[in-house]
Structure 1
């Protein structure tokens, strides 16, 4: 792989992030939630380890939401009709996002609640 191809892959990845932010409401919601969490973490004075966990949760949530959006687009590209397997694929991808979001909220509460009360 040439250096040019290597650095172009970063450009393509940045375009993917930009597309997701422009076209996906849920990713914008998660980004706003992440900003609120970072501000709360700043005022709460999180430890180094707590910041690592928060950053991993934020990055994981946004990345998983982007994967979910990519799966939805691929399924829509493959079939225009409402096929049961297409629905299952989209629903399972959305379910994965929901599981991670719920776990993130629980972990966030475990980190923040003791500091607030």
Structure 2
């Protein structure tokens, strides 16, 4: 087979997330980018790596609703995101921003 005849498949991040620690680190890095679209996409990748059916059942959602909530053009409710994270055994934590990132109204 010639090199030009080889098929290139799309990389699916969900296939690379093998452990709970992989998922945790992946979501931490995505959240650190401070991009809501990237974060939502990362949650979808993480949920697919665990299994959408499993996540939906644990989160108390039906699978179709979960897919709709995590698609690129969706605007899921905060409680939906929290339920999905909880189904993966994760939660959000609040930490101060680095000094250069701070635009807060409070002086710390």
TM-score by length of 2: 0.31
TM-score by length of 1: 0.29
Which fold has the larger relative contact order, with Cα–Cα distance below 8 Å and residues 6 or more apart in sequence?
1
